[in-house]
Chains A and B, each alone.
Chain A
Amino acid sequence: MLKNETKKMKPEVMNPSTGSAWVYSRIVKDHFFHPHNLLLTDPKQKQFNAHGLIGSPACGDVMRVWLTIDQASDRIKEFKWRTFGCASAIAATSMLSDMVTERGGMKVDKAMALKPQDITRRLGGLPNRKIHCSVLGDKALRMALNNWFKKTGQYERIVVEGTEIIDPITKVTEADIEEAAIEGVSTIKDLQKRTKVGIGNPECLPKAEQLLRFYNEKYFGKQSSE
């Protein structure tokens, strides 16, 4: 197994102007230098029907995806993206965009089930230490699909990971409330407008309000409660 791994890691690409071997596979290199499905100009309103953003500039990787989903066939027709990150992060998002849109577009359920390994396999492997931070594309994709589920009222299809669900119906999470707070939301009304929290499920509102107050205090001091 060790032998196999070293074989996989062995550079197979030559740099044309330096003649030296490259650190990533040929496929990674191709996607890094010639990424597919990049969104180069800012999108117009309603150009896409779903949007997702994941990662953080502090961690060193941020991915943003825009999707066009055909609701009738439940397939992803368009996947456009932008990525801040290293070569493997850029290549991985580019590869994902191909995987999701090839052959008439991937079924939404299949896209929701994509794993980082599915992407790295198609890339011809990545150095082990690179996998966990650079392959965030699947998460960005799930986030975009979750957003689309919300928008289209398909709450039962929402899958939440890594944070607490505050409203089990609309699947609004603590992270959603934190993000809203940072972006200036300070009243429960504005929060509802933004996240649909508690719509049809008012029992969760006290908790949502409490979290909103907590994050307002955390990021902006005490002024909101005074």
Chain B
Amino acid sequence: MRALTKYYFDYAATTPLDPRVLRVMSPFFNYSFGNPSNLYALGREAEQAATRARQTIARTVGCAPSEFIFTGSATEADNLALLGTARALKQHGNRIIVSAIEHKGILSAAKALETEGFEVITLGVSKTGLVNPKDVAAALNNKTILVSITTADSETGTIQPIKEIAHAIKKFRQLHDRSLPYFHTDATQAATHLNMLAYSSVVDMLTLSAHKLGGPKGIGGLMVRSGVKLTPLMYGGGQQNDLRSGTENLPAIVGFAKALKLVVRGQEKESRRLTVLRDRLERMIFKTIPKVIVNGHPTKRLPNFLNISILDIEGEAMLLRLDDKGIAVGTGSACNSQTLEPSYIIKALGLPYEYIHGSLRFTLGTYTTRESIDYVLKYLPIIVKDLRSMSPINLKVTGNKKTLSLPVAFVGGQTPHFVRGKKHAQK
């Protein structure tokens, strides 16, 4: 194994393909290469493989094989859930409820729907990153057609009270004798560590992605309960019950099924292993580095997530210093993003910008060991100390997260560029 894999702490971005997954995929590139839509032997072989993969996934997710639609990514699955249901149900209502910490696949699709005349309600989260089921209940009305709340977000891994939210929606439906709104959850990050059976049973739609769980990139899927009305995004040959035209990506589908099967098989044990490692990383960082805070929920978090803010220094600088030692992490700092905007998810927790700029996200996975953790613990405190020694600021950790930044930071109209534009837009 490459050292780079050993010190990879960005499993929330993507994961290495499990070699066992690669093995089952390979025949479908050039040996059993048929198109599942064709009737001759090669086509039938492909169709059987696709059916088997679909059955495996359906079993682990907890749905009928016909209730799972393969897509090109989780983003496409999210888009299908939002655009698909909204367009199919526009005569029944126009309100869509999402949370502020959804994946961009949800938020951008919701924004697009606003231009089509839909009303999007974006719910805030608590300072620990939780959506309040009561907020969901309060936002429901008889024009609401869809609620989409992530199972766990991609920055802090905070696990949302999906069952409670589902309960609130169910109660609303019963009270008003409606079958709407539908409830969708993006379980892309959560599927590696949470039992999907418990979630699929309370929602109408659920998004998954293969490359976050040791499968190949370029394949995701949407579980859609039968009876849910959906307009397709792709029009063509009518594959997958006319809901997602386009020749099935067979090697990826087979790989997706195998990856999911492997993950579920070892799920509890792996979650326990990573919890121990993650907790060690967290505990030791707090022990060796002053002025650190955890972003997200202290306990209701996926076992492989640790998102922290290290005050007085900036995330990209830390990321590049860690990279120099072969360690890969994520950051919510504006400097690291193409748009130069700080992480909207950490911002939704109500943290001031200077905390977001100093945020680091460690996400653990298959190849993370005690040794990988100790390797980080050997270098991170040195890097932090070094960067702090060259920093001109010395912020205090305040309990009051409501105050947005130090006022002195904005003297003479020095408002951050990412706020400036928005203020104008509001006016």
User: Which A residues contact B (CB, under 8 angstroms)?
Assistant: 15-18, 23, 32-33, 35, 38, 40, 53, 55-64, 82-87, 89-90, 129-130, 132-134, 162-163, 173-175, 178-179, 182-183, 219
The B interface, classified by DSSP as helix, strand, loop or mixed, is helix
Top 6 A-B pairs, shortest CB-CB distance: A175-B412, A56-B409, A64-B392, A57-B354, A86-B335, A86-B316
Mark each residue of chain B from 4 to 30: 1 if its CB lies under 8 Å from any CB of chain A, else 0.
100000000000000000000000000
* Contacting residues, chain A, for B392 (C-beta < 8 A): 53, 62-64, 82-84
For the complex, give the distance between the alpha carbons of A219 and B414 in Å. 16
Question: Could you list 17 A-B pairs, sorted by A, with CB under 8 Å?
Answer: A15-B324, A33-B321, A38-B390, A40-B389, A56-B409, A57-B405, A59-B414, A60-B353, A82-B391, A84-B313, A133-B340, A174-B412, A175-B412, A178-B411, A178-B412, A179-B408, A179-B412
**CB within 8 Å of A: which B124-176 residues:** none
A147 nearest CB across to chain B (Å)? 15
Chain A residues near B1: list those with CB within 8 A: none
Say whether B352 faces chain A, with CB atoms less than 8 Å apart: yes
Whether B405 contacts A58 by the Cβ 8 Å rule is yes
Residue from B320, B338, B342, B411 in contact with A32 in the complex, judged by beta carbons closer than 8 Å: B320
The answer, among B313, B340, B409, for a CB contact under 8 Å with A129, is B340
B312 interface residue per 8 A CB criterion? yes
A82-B390, A86-B317, A182-B411 given; name 11 further pairs at CB < 8 Å: A15-B323, A16-B324, A23-B320, A33-B324, A40-B389, A84-B312, A86-B314, A129-B340, A132-B417, A178-B412, A179-B408
CB < 8 Å neighbour of B353 from A58, A129, A133: A58
Q: With both chains docked as a complex, state the minimum distance between the C-beta of B9 and any C-beta of chain A, in angstroms.
A: 14
Q: Using Cβ atoms and an 8 Å threshold, which residues of chain A touch B352?
A: 58
For residue B227, CB closer than 8 A to chain A, the reply is: no
A15 to B395, CA, bound (A): 32
Q: State in angstroms the CA–CA spacing of A87 and B325 once bound together.
A: 15
The CA-CA distance from A63 to B320 in the complex, in Å, is 20
Determine if B4 and A18 form an interchain contact, defined as CB atoms under 8 angstroms apart. yes
Chain B contact-residue range equals 35 or more
B106 proximal to A (CB < 8 A): no
Q: Which single member of A15, A60, A82 contacts B334 (CB below 8 Å)?
A: A60
Is B298 interfacial (CB-CB < 8 Å)?
Answer: no
Which interface residue of B315, B326, B352, B390 has the most chain A CB atoms within 10 A? B390
A59 to B: closest C-beta gap in Å: 4
Q: Which residues of B contact A175 (CB under 8 A)?
A: 411-413
CB proximity of B312 to chain A, nearest CB, Å: 7
Chain B positions within 8 Å of A, measured between CB atoms, are 3-4, 312-317, 320-321, 323-326, 333-336, 338, 340, 342, 352-354, 357, 389-393, 395, 404-414, 416-417
CB atoms of B417 and A59 under 8 A apart: yes
Q: Within the assembled complex, what's the spacing in Å between the Cα atoms of A39 and B219?
A: 51
Cα distance A132–B334 when bound, in Å?
13
Given the known A-B contacts A83-B390, A182-B411, are A57 and B406 also in contact in the complex, defined by CB atoms under 8 Å?
yes
Closest CB-CB distance, B384 to chain A, in whole Å? 13
- Given A56-B414, A56-B416, A173-B412, does the pair A85, B324 have CB atoms closer than 8 Å? no
- Complex alpha-carbon distance, A119 and B317, angstroms: 19
- Min CB–CB distance B395 → chain A (angstroms): 7
